[in-house]
Structure 1
Amino acid sequence: MPILNPRVDIPRVLLSVLFLSIMIIACLWVVQPFILGFAWAGTVVIATWPLLLRLQQLLWGRRSLAVLVMTLLLTLLFVIPIALLVSSIVDNSGPVVNWATSGHMSLPEFNWLRNIPLVGDKLWQSWHSLLQSGGRALVAKVQPYIGTTTNWFVGQIAHVGSFVMHCFLMLAFSALLYWRGENVGMGFRHFAYRLAAQRGDAAVVLAGQAIRAVALGVVVTALVQGILGGIGLAICGIPYATLLTVVMILCCLVQIGPLLVLVPAIIWLYWTGDTTWGTVLLIWSAIVGMMDSVIRPVLIRMGADLPLILVLSGVIGGLIAFGMIGLFIGPVVLAVSYRLYVVWVNEAALPDEDPEELVEILEGHTPKSEETPH
């Protein structure tokens, strides 16, 4: 006698799924204020975990001392610079906005061009001919857009309070993750193994490699270039050096590079007649501008080899989606997804058939190689 399949209780299944969905949404709603801070902390801890283990060995195997030292290092790297930057932005944003919107902005005269041998007079005359033929009208047309753009950037600074809050959450979560990092990591691996067995466990390892690659190759490179560029600006006497250092770090994070700030600073030094410091800053800018081509590939290969377009898209998209914290979260999300996608695709072998032959087969034609000779 055939055994009938038990009847599927569809309402029970639907209600179970609905209950689980409500519980997941409720949990996410409760922890929503802490998600970005925890994600940032996870990125920092994964990237610096080898350093923690090294410190633990040097500090007589005491995890508590290693966690304390790492927390102090993170405070020095994030909290103190951010506090100084916020203070500098508050002090300097007013004069910048007033200058951009005052209506008295004009193109420079560049009288120092006359001192250039042979071609100096011609360059000066050509520049003043441009000014007389409409240069000032061009400035008048561009100025409203400059003022609007400046106001937009300053308006974004209003969200710096949220960024500071996430920064403190990052420090708190980082200390906890440093202290119980092995247990947390095993918990993620256990959950992934429960979902997809060995593939899930491998996915967690690949995600850690991608996070380390982004943190080392993008963030560290941007900080090194921005800080070194800022040191050069301060030594050469450029005003608002701290604020310009922030701009340089942001430019490096979005893969534009520090020259967007350094080149106008060099021009300003030559324009004001300080050719000595202008030359010094020119040489220093050439060194700083080329550092990313040496540092970034080495650091990225420590984690995983990632396409530059992926990192660029992650930085810009993260900035738009999450604000300043998205500079760190955006590329990490795309990098992890990319690594998992590549591994999943590579589980299958590459197709070795001729594409044209496959098209003919799909269209119902006989391939030329199988045609019988007449």
Structure 2
Amino acid sequence: MERDRWLSVVLRTALLVLFFWMIRTILVPIALGGLFALLLSPLAEKVKPRLGRAEPLTPLLFTFGTIILVVIPFAFITVEAIQSINDFLARDWTPTIQRFQSFLTEGIDIRGRSIHIGGPQLQLAIQNIGQRAASFAASFVGGMATALPAFILSLFLFGVSLYYFLRDGGKLVRWMFRLSPFPPSQTRELFASVRETVNGAILGILATAVVQGSLTLLALHLFGVPNAFLLGVLAALLSFIPLVGTTPVTVGATIYLFVTNHVGGAIGMGISAVLIGLSDNVVRPWVQSSSTRMHPLIALLGIFGGLDLFGPVGVFLGPVIAAMAVWTVDTYAKLHHASRREATTPPVDASATPPPKSVPPPENPPVP
């Protein structure tokens, strides 16, 4: 009997592992659809009674609305960014690079004698950096172009999973609640933590776009770059794309200022580009932590770890995993503290309790 039980457990585990290993490459868009459904479900429940006879179509309407308002603009911005980078690389930048090299060489040779840095060495280093940057950008653009079929498949899986999670999400949550090995209070805390984390990720992305777009607009206007407003709006839209961000706008503006003989403005714009790029690492974790009561360092680790493991969608999935890890430690600490408190409380000894006091008889008992 014991052997049959262990055989059943092994077979069940093997089947589950085989299933998840089979769908491992498409789990990310499905998980992303589930997170968006978790975010949109409260709004869908409020809108559903107002649709009347179209109430059963609520999941379908929200799915198409999400794809039209979120996914398609994001894909359009990504394609435009790739096209801009491709056009940028297709230009002949040889005169600009030579001019930049001569400028740095002449400007650093004066101090180069004191620190033993010569002009030829510096020029060779600049050439190596330029070649590596060009090859990296070219490979990045080529990789994005070849990933288009996979993106279309991911978009389809995202839409399908979002629809079914919106339609049957309540049943799924109740099923997971029944199967949860944790107490009901801890399970509710886990679900609430995941929902808060998803909301914090969305707010972090929006806040980052506003901050980086505003800083880019201010820098472009300050250093006299033409079409500053349109470029600032483009920078805000590009900030939604992880690992790209405002770099095409800020770096392009720096090169433009340098080519047009505005050396001081180019240096200031280059410094602004670095600061604007680093603002993402400050604003996003801060908003994430303030929305979920998570420490900013944990939020930052979740964002970068998610980007490294899942790619761009790691902006959503990474903080969710970090929140679940924090919940795990927090619940364990509460249970450990409760068990230690029970262990240190002395037991009550029934034999040590004093007997009840007897009432002495009256001195003059009544006569019957």
Partner of 1:149: 136
* 1-structure distance, mates of 2:282, 2:177: 35
Return the TM-score normalized by structure 2: 0.66
Pick the aligned partner of 1:174 from 162, 170, 186.
162
What whole-Å deviation, never above 9, does each CA across 1:302-351 have from its counterpart, x for those lacking one? 4x211223233233322332333333322222222222322321333399
| 1:324-343 equivalent positions in 2, closer than 5 A | 324-343=312-331
Deviation, 1:211, is 3.2
Pick the aligned partner of 2:5 from 10, 13, 17.
13
| 1:356-371 equivalent positions in 2, closer than 5 A | none
Count matched residues.
322
| 1:76-225 equivalent positions in 2, closer than 5 A | 76-98=68-90, 105-108=97-100, 126=107, 133-134=119-120, 136-157=123-144, 158-192=146-180, 195-198=181-184, 201-225=187-211
Deviation, 1:155, is 4.5
* 2-structure distance, mates of 1:226, 1:12: 61
Pick the aligned partner of 2:308 from 300, 310, 320.
320
Partner of 1:345: 333
What whole-Å deviation, never above 9, does each CA across 1:208-237 have from its counterpart, x for those lacking one? 345334433433334545666788889428
Contact in 2 for aligned 1:315/1:330 (Cα 8 Å): yes
- Structure 1 residue runs of 5 or longer lacking an equivalent are 1-8, 112-122, 353-374
* 2-structure distance, mates of 1:101, 1:139: 14
Change (3 A) 1:237 1:99: farther
Return the TM-score normalized by structure 1: 0.65
Deviation, 1:86, is 4.5
Deviation, 1:37, is 1.8
Contact in 2 for aligned 1:213/1:301 (Cα 8 Å): no
Deviation, 1:39, is 0.7
Change (3 A) 1:102 1:267: closer
Change (3 A) 1:203 1:34: farther
What whole-Å deviation, never above 9, does each CA across 1:76-125 have from its counterpart, x for those lacking one? 343322432343245334344455997973354999xxxxxxxxxxx9x8
Change (3 A) 1:289 1:52: farther
Q: Which amino acid aligns with 2:318?
A: G
* 2-structure distance, mates of 1:324, 1:262: 20
Change (3 A) 1:197 1:330: same
Change (3 A) 1:85 1:230: farther
Partner of 1:43: 35
Q: Which amino acid aligns with 2:43?
A: L
Contact in 1 for aligned 2:67/2:159 (Cα 8 Å): yes
Secondary structure, aligned partner of 1:306:
coil
Change (3 A) 1:244 1:261: farther
* 2-structure distance, mates of 1:101, 1:268: 10
Q: Based on CA coordinates, which of the two structures has the bigger radius of gyration?
A: 2
Partner of 2:17: 25
Alignment of 1:71 onto 2:63: yes
Deviation, 1:188, is 1.7
Contact in 2 for aligned 1:311/1:331 (Cα 8 Å): yes
* 2-structure distance, mates of 1:298, 1:35: 27
Secondary structure, aligned partner of 2:97:
coil
Partner of 2:242: 250
What whole-Å deviation, never above 9, does each CA across 1:16-50 have from its counterpart, x for those lacking one? 22211222123324544542222101111222333
What whole-Å deviation, never above 9, does each CA across 1:149-177 have from its counterpart, x for those lacking one? 32343344233542342233222211222
* 1-structure distance, mates of 2:78, 2:280: 27
Contact in 1 for aligned 2:306/2:318 (Cα 8 Å): yes
Contact in 1 for aligned 2:48/2:55 (Cα 8 Å): yes
